[in-house]
């Protein structure tokens, strides 16, 4: 159940717009669809579309180095749940938001576990910095390491 | 009432700066209108027919006098000297300039207020019982639970791009004064074997497909209830429909899956989320509860009221409500003067209400979902002084829960979604009944008007509901009967073909005539309708 026919391959290698918060080397091959990934055993990069069930990947997290979560339209928020579900299940590889990824969604994406962003359109560097610096605190735990306000109040 | 600490203040201040930056980038052309729209909506800013409308959150409808004064100042400084209180206990301003919006948000933040998530496809302002903390029948004050949910839902990273808007109401009594089961999630704090827990009702709503929320879990322990809400939202975020805006609310998901299957999925998600340690500790709930302790009631306050002034006595009978503390009542300030615009208040009226709250109600006011204002804790001995001041300012209408106490959306006078005007219909109906003198004899009669199928005026839940539609370019009004938003919740049924603007006023009079003829002792309009059914009303309307 996807909104649109996914491309045979995701992006994988750097498009030149990649914003990445990891020290390891990026995966150098394209990501395959979830269906293709579940059918074949050698891919280490997969692309999750909004209608895919990210939980299907959980038995195979060990061999994944890159999960791309596609946002065909920024208003479709299913990818936030996909990301958090994978992090909650212990996925530690790269989690990359791709597609209609805009500056005003970056902070929430980061909180849901994304550590790389490959937007369709180039993002202004200063706007990106400002977006990540925006929130002095957070009200709720998510997939990042930030301490929620309630924990600080009762620390 | 709740007071911000430095954390809460920092979050609201950050939001103001974020919005200022977004508005700047929009003006510089870095954001398209399509990209800007959901961002401004999440700050309560709509583009209406004539101007921008700004909706300010009043969390669970509770305000102090300082905040009400700030709302009055905003009305004077940035609008045309008035504001409109809404069915979700908020206030909106209808004549706002985009370039002023960030400054207004900054003014609000100075009094611990904001417009966060008052629109957009996110979790909206949490609503609650307007008599919370005063009602004799409540198990506990529901507002601390609402505040806990306010914090949890504010800037929630996973649930800010939901399929559609998401409304939560929290109550804690058998009587439902918040239309709890007509929300996306309705929570009733209940007691079982001496323990408090949260009953979850999910998938209610009005709009084009009205639904009454089924109970999906009758008792979620209090140290898990935020996690349970998170599970409800995650299932919705993942599986709610996104292909059709009109089928995107959670009620459609619950209906299509069936309540049982939706519940199964929520329970499965809940079991997984319990391992994630996302629940605030009970100590946080206790901290918040500290802000909602009873005010320092006068334990010797008497119950005597001098009823020698008949106008005052009538107002006391109609507009005051029993209080848990002897010697006190909750006093309702009607924003429904005959011929007026339901829910509107001038800046002057707001200031007066603020000052009276400070003097007579422990500095507290509530916004009701019926678009009136409550002073929750008033000594009976102070009522005459209070009423005199209200009456002098045009705020003394004795019409709570009567046919004059109409809920109406802004309609085609303001709203870009509307098909028909609501306000003039409300004005004509209240004028008609005031003129015939029937308002009192008809007793409790909840009349609700929406100017389009989105049902902001709650017409599905009206004892009498009116829906404005566009029929070949002419405004036409459908009449429906038998709805209720209360604990006896039901959805109104359409009587038949619609009426013209004047015809609908006559039609309302006709159905009240049937009620007067058929009622037995003590029956409300709604009771009579439920007993005799639609047929006699139809006959009177169409034969």
Name the band, by pLDDT with cuts 50, 70 and 90, for residue A8. Answer: very low
**From the CA of B291, how many Å to the nearest CA of chain A?**
15
Which residues of A are less than 8 Å from B14 in CB distance? 134-136
Instruction: Report how many domains make up chain A.
Output: 1
Task: State how far the Cα of A22 lies from the Cα of A37, in Å rounded to an integer.
Answer: 23
In terms of pLDDT, which residue wins out, A41 or B19?
B19
* Contact at CB, A134 and B277, closer than 8 angstroms: no
With pLDDT > 70 as the criterion, what percentage of chain A qualifies? 90
pLDDT at A14: 66
What does pTM read for this prediction? 0.96
Give B39-60 as a DSSP string. HHHTTTEEE-SSSEEEEEB-GG
ipTM of the complex: 0.94
Is the model's pLDDT at B448 over the cut of 50? Answer: yes
The yes-or-no answer to whether B142-289 and B407-542 have a common fold is yes
Residue A66 within any structural domain of the chain? yes
Which residues of A are less than 8 Å from B21 in CB distance? 130
Tell me if chain A has a CB within 8 Å of the CB of B507. Answer: no
Tell me if chain A has a CB within 8 Å of the CB of B477. Answer: no
Write down the CATH number for the domain with range B6-109: 3.90.480.20
Name the band, by pLDDT with cuts 50, 70 and 90, for residue B203. Answer: very high
Residue in B14, B25, B162 closest to A134 by CB: B14
What's the CATH code of the domain at A111? 3.40.50
In what side-by-side order are the strands of the sheet with B493-494? B407-408, B447-450, B464-471, B474-481, B493-494
pLDDT at B139: 96
**From the CA of B35, how many Å to the nearest CA of chain A?**
9
pLDDT at B30: 87
Q: Please say whether the structural domain B142-289 has been given the CATH code 3.20.20.70.
A: no
Residue A102 within any structural domain of the chain? yes
Residue A1 within any structural domain of the chain? no
**From the CA of A68, how many Å to the nearest CA of chain B?**
17
Is the model's pLDDT at A6 over the cut of 90? Answer: no
User: Which sign does the torsion angle of CA B75, B78, B79, B80 carry?
Assistant: positive
User: What residue has token string 């006559």?
Assistant: B506
Tell me if chain A has a CB within 8 Å of the CB of B11. Answer: yes
CA-based end-to-end distance of chain A: 44
Domain span at residue A38? 19-153
pLDDT at A2: 41
Residue in A80, A111, A135 closest to B14 by CB: A135
3-state SS assignment for residue B110: coil
Q: Do B364 and B303 meet the contact criterion of CB atoms below 8 Å apart?
A: no
Full 3-state SS string of chain A: CCCCCCCCECCCCCCCCCEECCCCCCCCCCCEEHHHHHHCCCCCEEEECCCCCHHHHHHHHHHCCEEEEEECCCCCCHHHHHHHHHHHCCCCCEEEEEECCCHHHHHHHHHCCCCEEEECCCCCHHHHHHHHHCCCCECCCCCCCCCEHHHHHCC
pLDDT at B48: 82
Domain ranges for chain B: 6-109, 142-289, 310-392, 407-542
Tell me if chain A has a CB within 8 Å of the CB of B281. Answer: yes
Residue A112 within any structural domain of the chain? yes
Instruction: From residue B130, give the alpha-carbon distance in Å to each of B124, B148, B178, B317, B370.
Output: 17, 17, 7, 19, 10
- Which tokens is A143 given? 């997939």
pLDDT at A9: 61
Task: State how far the Cα of B172 lies from the Cα of B188, in Å rounded to an integer.
Answer: 5
**From the CA of A70, how many Å to the nearest CA of chain B?**
14
Count other Cβ atoms within 10 Å, centred on residue B75.
24
- Which tokens is B382 given? 């102070």
Please give the CATH topology (third level) of the domain spanning B407-542. Answer: Sulfite Reductase Hemoprotein; domain 1 (3.30.413)
């Amino acid at each position: 159940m996807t909104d649109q026919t996914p491309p045979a391959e995701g992006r994988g290698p750097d498009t030149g717009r990649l914003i990445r918060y990891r020290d390891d080397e990026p995966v150098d091959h394209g990501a395959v669809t979830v269906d293709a990934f579940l059918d074949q055993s050698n891919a280490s990069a997969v692309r999750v579309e909004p209608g895919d069930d990210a939980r299907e990947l959980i038995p195979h997290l060990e061999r994944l180095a890159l999960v791309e979560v596609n946002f065909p339209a920024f208003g479709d928020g299913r990818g936030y749940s996909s990301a958090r579900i994978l992090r909650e299940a212990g996925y530690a590889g790269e989690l990359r938001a791709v597609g209609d990824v805009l500056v005003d969604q970056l902070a929430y994406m980061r909180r849901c576990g994304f550590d790389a962003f490959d937007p369709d359109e180039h993002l202004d560097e200063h706007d990106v910095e400002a977006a990540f610096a925006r929130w002095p605190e957070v009200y709720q735990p998510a997939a990042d390491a930030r301490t929620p306000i309630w924990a600080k109040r009762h620390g | 009432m709740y007071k911000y600490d430095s954390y809460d203040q920092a979050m609201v201040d950050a939001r103001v700066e974020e919005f200022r930056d977004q508005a700047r980038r929009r003006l510089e052309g870095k954001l398209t209108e399509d990209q800007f729209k959901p961002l401004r909506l999440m700050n309560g800013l709509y583009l209406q027919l004539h101007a921008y409308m700004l909706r300010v959150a009043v969390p669970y409808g509770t305000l102090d006098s300082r905040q009400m004064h700030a709302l009055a100042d905003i009305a004077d400084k940035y609008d045309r000297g008035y504001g409109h209180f809404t069915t979700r206990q908020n206030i909106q301003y209808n004549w706002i300039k985009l370039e002023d919006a960030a400054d207004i948000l900054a003014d609000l933040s100075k009094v611990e207020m904001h417009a966060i998530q008052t629109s957009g496809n996110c979790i909206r302002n949490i609503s609650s019982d307007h008599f919370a903390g005063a009602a004799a029948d409540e198990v506990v004050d529901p507002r601390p639970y609402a505040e806990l949910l306010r914090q949890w839902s504010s800037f929630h990273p996973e649930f800010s791009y939901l399929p559609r808007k998401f409304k939560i109401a929290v109550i804690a009594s058998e009587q439902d004064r918040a239309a709890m089961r007509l929300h996306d999630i309705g929570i009733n704090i209940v007691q079982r074997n001496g323990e408090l827990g949260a009953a979850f009702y999910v998938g209610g709503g009005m709009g084009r497909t009205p639904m009454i929320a089924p109970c999906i879990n009758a008792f979620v322990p209090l140290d898990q209830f935020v996690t349970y809400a998170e599970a409800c939202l995650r299932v919705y975020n993942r599986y709610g429909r996104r292909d059709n805006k009109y089928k995107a609310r959670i009620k459609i998901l619950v209906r299509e899956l069936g309540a049982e299957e939706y519940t199964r999925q929520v329970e499965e998600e809940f079991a997984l989320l319990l391992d994630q340690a996302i629940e605030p500790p009970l100590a946080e709930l206790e901290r918040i509860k500290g802000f909602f302790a009873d005010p320092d009631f006068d334990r010797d306050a008497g119950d005597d009221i001098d009823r020698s002034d008949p106008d005052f006595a009538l107002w006391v009978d109609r507009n005051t409500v029993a209080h848990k503390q002897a010697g006190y009542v909750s006093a309702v300030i009607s924003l429904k003067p005959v011929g007026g615009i339901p829910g509107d208040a001038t800046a002057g009226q707001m200031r007066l209400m603020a000052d009276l709250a400070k003097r007579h109600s422990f500095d507290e006011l509530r916004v009701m979902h019926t678009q009136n204002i409550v002073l929750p804790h008033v000594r009976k001995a102070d009522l005459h002084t209070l009423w005199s001041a209200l009456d002098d300012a045009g705020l003394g209408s004795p019409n709570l829960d009567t046919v004059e106490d109409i809920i109406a959306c802004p309609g085609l006078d303001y709203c870009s979604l509307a098909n028909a005007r609501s306000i003039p219909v409300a004005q004509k109906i209240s004028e008609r009944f005031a003129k015939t003198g029937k308002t009192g004899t008809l007793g409790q009669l909840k009349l609700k008007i929406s100017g389009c199928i989105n049902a902001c005026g709650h017409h599905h839940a009206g004892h009498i509901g009116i829906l404005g539609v566009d029929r070949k370019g002419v405004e036409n009004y459908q009449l429906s009967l038998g709805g209720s938003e209360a604990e006896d919740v039901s959805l109104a049924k359409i009587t038949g073909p619609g009426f013209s603007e004047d015809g609908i006023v006559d039609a309302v009079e006709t159905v009240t005539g049937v009620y007067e003829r058929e009622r037995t002792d003590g029956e409300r309009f709604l009771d009579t309708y439920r007993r005799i059914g639609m047929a006699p009303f139809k006959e009177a309307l169409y034969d």
